[in-house]
């Protein structure tokens, strides 16, 4: 496995050899209880069918794998993995926390393994 890289303000990713592991903190400020959630999980792009991949790309404004390759080169697959994860966060492990500090502590523990 590679080292974790920060891909967004509260999102991290690492390659696992045959896929990716991701962790993301999400806040829904309009909820009074459990305003912070962490979604985390390990997956392979092969876990998704063509429709899932097309939906994830379109959700982030990409039209095709060729476009991702043209824009991101060697990082295109990683960008696709981020898109797939964000579109399917509820399908991964989800934990809730009352504060951002609690969520960050949990994320740091996840990434320490």
Task: Convert the pLDDT of each residue in 29-44 to its tens digit.
Answer: 665 566 899 999 999 9
CB atoms within 10 A of CB 106: 18
pLDDT over 70 at 4, yes or no: yes
Residue 56: half-sphere exposure toward Cβ, Cα within 13 Å:
22
**pTM of structure:** 0.89
Q: What is the DSSP letter of 61?
A: T
CB under 8 Å to 52, separation ≥6 — which residues?
Answer: 84, 87, 88
Task: Convert the pLDDT of each residue in 35-88 to its tens digit.
Answer: 899 999 999 999 999 999 999 999 999 999 999 999 999 999 999 999 999 999
Q: How far is CA 26 from CA 62, 84, 96, 105, 109, in A?
A: 23, 16, 9, 14, 17
Q: Where are the domains of the chain?
A: 5-112
């Amino acid at each position: 496995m590679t080292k974790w890289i920060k891909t967004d303000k509260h999102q991290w990713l690492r390659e696992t050899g045959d896929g990716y592991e991701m962790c993301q903190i999400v806040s829904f400020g309009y909820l009074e209880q459990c305003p912070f959630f962490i979604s985390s999980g390990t997956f392979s792009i092969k876990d998704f069918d063509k429709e899932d991949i097309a939906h994830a790309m379109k959700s982030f404004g990409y039209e095709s794998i060729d476009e991702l390759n043209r824009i991101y080169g060697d990082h295109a697959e990683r960008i696709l993995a981020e898109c797939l994860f964000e579109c399917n966060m509820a399908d991964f492990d989800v934990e809730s926390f009352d504060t951002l500090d609690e969520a960050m502590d949990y994320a740091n523990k996840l990434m320490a393994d």
